[in-house]
Amino acid sequence: MKIRWMVAAVAAVGLATVTFPVITGCGSSASRSDGDSKAAPDASACSAKAAPANLEFTLTDMNGKAVRLADYKGKAVLLNFWATWCPPCKTEIPVFIELQEKYRARGFVVLGVSTDDPADALRAFAAEHKMNYPVLQATEELMDAYGPIWAIPVSILINRDGTICKKHMGPATKEEFEKDIKAVL
């Protein structure tokens, strides 16, 4: 009986060691992102193992309007899963505002996808933080399609052709995002 509990305790500690950096948003971004770490500014920016993004979702924005992800095909899209109560998510918002403004004319868009906030809270938060990009409400199906999403923020960069080029699990820096965006534009 004691051995079984000891094995369970060791397994629990091991699991906690592996998942704690993901849950808290800690750890190096290199250990949290998929794709090539040396993205070139051309069509080869996505890794050879890049998968197509599922754009067959219609989500509701913070104003109650239907938004089809398929309508963004042909643009470079940063799909950011976040919540208003998430401190690392809040630190990324000014970066996304700046990147949206800087690269919008070149066919780039940030789509903020709230994982659990109601529309009224999103409207107030977006106004307070002067968010200049669409804010959508996630569905379980969307989170399953792009996940598993066990912790936030999660940011997924989708190329113009609808290919997932990069996935950041946890917060990333402005420099990391900008490098990735330039590589797909």
Phi, psi dihedrals of residue 77, rounded to the nearest 5°: -120, 130
Kindly state the tokens that stand for 19.
Answer: 């998942």
Kindly state the tokens that stand for 174.
Answer: 């402005």
User: How many C-beta atoms surround the C-beta of residue 149 within 10 A?
Assistant: 18
Kindly state the tokens that stand for 22.
Answer: 């993901």
Among 26, 46, 86, 89, the active-site one is 89
What pLDDT digit, counting tens, does each position of 10-21 carry? 444 444 444 444
Catalytic annotation on 89?
A: yes
- Whole-model pTM: value is 0.75
Domains of the chain (ranges plus CATH)?
2-184 (3.40.30.10)
Residues in CB range of 26: below 8 A, 6 or more apart: 20, 170
Helices and strands per DSSP (H, E), number in the chain: 5, 8
First to last CA, the chain: 59
Q: Rounded to 10 degrees, what is the CA torsion of 125, 175, 41, 181?
A: 0
Low-confidence ranges of the chain (pLDDT < 50): 1, 3-43
What pLDDT digit, counting tens, does each position of 37-65 carry? 333 334 456 665 678 889 999 999 999 99
User: How many C-beta atoms surround the C-beta of residue 160 within 10 A?
Assistant: 17
